[in-house]
Amino acid sequence: MRYDFGSDNTAGMAPEALAGIQAANAGFARAYGADDVTARAADLIRQRLDADAEVRFVFSGTAANAIALSMLTFPFEAVLAHHAAHVCTDETGAPGFFGQGVGLIGLPGFSGKIDLKAMTAILDEPEVGHRQPPAALSVTQATEYGAVYTVDELRGLIDPVKARGYGVHMDGARLANAAAGGFDLTQIARLGVDVLVFGGAKAGAPCSEAIVLFDKSLARRLDNRLKQAGQMASKGRFQAAPFLGLLESGAWEAGGAHANLMARRLAEGIVTNSRFVLAHPVEANAVFVRMPAAAHRRLNEAGWACYRFDDGSVRFVCSWATTEAAVDELIAAVRTIG
């Protein structure tokens, strides 16, 4: 089975991330993230975002998202998110676990983008003592369906939430792809996002993500929270080093741009060479195809790992490591079945 397009998690480390780890391995350094490598990586993230913020590096996006949401809500409150968002569908209740009971309110919207009217309707509902009221919004950039919010779309969602005094979290697992798709990273803090998860693993790092706190008041005893959650590495420089390698070299952006380019090549090839149609616009690094179950099964039997997603479409994901040759081979395989 070939996993080239099964997920951007199936790719290895980008050479620049590996080089960052190798460089950090020389000599001795202070433990628990108090080292120069961690400080430099955090500075580069702040530079990309053009914002002052507290930055911490953790082992997984699930932990980063869940810890972030636990900072924005009490246990008797809930988080608004798209019903297909990772926090709703793929984190096994982690927001509720880390938030000691925090709830999730799933919202509709095409291509993973939250529908503003649906969100407003929930915000306008009267609060009662028998339900968890919303207290925060979580947005995903790029979305689980490969869409990229515009700044105006995000502002339309965030402004009414902030007007009520609620918090805002952004899941940026594929933020590099959103940036390559035209999204301006410097607008995140200006939009009123309180906590950002700055994606590393899907951009070519190993298991490493960054929690970015624009609202620095949330950083009170943050290190205690991370330690209790098992997210504070004793050799913390190795969590930050892949980011340092990717950001110093520009590979974080270049890898996202390459993955997006390969996704467009794949989408165009499938549409041109088969009877299958796209289920969603291709704005980042994922391609979703309407494909009958029998055709999907034949593609799997031919050795291509691809998965049926929540909406019934078949998902193909490109990464920094995807090659043109692999894209063309997959297009040829799709042509034979469709």
Measure Cα distances from 199 to 132, 164, 174, 325 in Å: 29, 28, 6, 27
Residues 302 and 252 sit within 8 Å (Cβ to Cβ): no
Let me know if residue 8 belongs to a domain.
Answer: no
Domain ranges, residue 291: 251-337
Residues 169 and 79 sit within 8 Å (Cβ to Cβ): yes
Last residue of a domain, one of 225, 249, 273: 249
Mean model confidence pLDDT for the chain: 97
Q: What per-residue confidence (pLDDT) applies to 284?
A: 98
Let me know if residue 3 belongs to a domain.
Answer: no
One domain for residues 313 and 164: no
Q: Which residues of 207-222 are buried (b: 16+ CB within 10 A; e: fewer)?
A: ebbbbbbbbeebbeeb
Cα–Cα distance for residue pair 286/43, rounded to 1 Å: 30
Let me know if residue 25 belongs to a domain.
Answer: yes
Quick: pLDDT tens for 263-310.
999 999 999 999 999 999 999 999 999 999 999 999 999 999 999 999
SS3 173: coil
Pick from 88, 201, 199: nearest CA to 137: 88
Q: Which residues of 83-113 are buried (b: 16+ CB within 10 A; e: fewer)?
A: bbbbbbbebeebbbebbeebbbbbbebebbb
The values of phi and psi at residue 76, to 5°, are: -95, 10
Q: What per-residue confidence (pLDDT) applies to 196?
A: 98
List per-block mean pLDDT (blocks of 10 residues) for the chain, which spans 338 residues: 96 98 97 97 98 97 97 97 97 95 98 98 94 97 98 98 98 98 98 98 96 95 94 96 98 98 98 96 98 96 95 98 98 94
Let me know if residue 278 belongs to a domain.
Answer: yes
CA 331 to chain centre: 27
Pick from 15, 71, 52: nearest CA to 248: 15
Q: What per-residue confidence (pLDDT) applies to 81?
A: 98
Last residue of a domain, one of 230, 249, 268: 249
Query: Structural domain tally of the chain?
Result: 2
Q: What per-residue confidence (pLDDT) applies to 292?
A: 96
Q: What per-residue confidence (pLDDT) applies to 338?
A: 80
One domain for residues 67 and 26: yes
Residues 320 and 11 sit within 8 Å (Cβ to Cβ): yes
Cα–Cα distance for residue pair 227/325, rounded to 1 Å: 44
SS3 323: coil
Write out the DSSP string of 257-311: HHHHHHHHHHHHHHHHHSS-EESS---SSEEEEE--HHHHHHHHHTTB--EE-TT
One domain for residues 78 and 192: yes
What CATH number did the domain enclosing 333 receive?
Answer: 3.90.1150.10
Let me know if residue 78 belongs to a domain.
Answer: yes
Cα–Cα distance for residue pair 84/107, rounded to 1 Å: 8
Pick from 337, 11, 49, 42: nearest CA to 189: 49
Last residue of a domain, one of 197, 229, 249: 249
One domain for residues 286 and 152: no
One domain for residues 129 and 270: no
One domain for residues 98 and 234: yes
One domain for residues 58 and 76: yes
Let me know if residue 9 belongs to a domain.
Answer: no
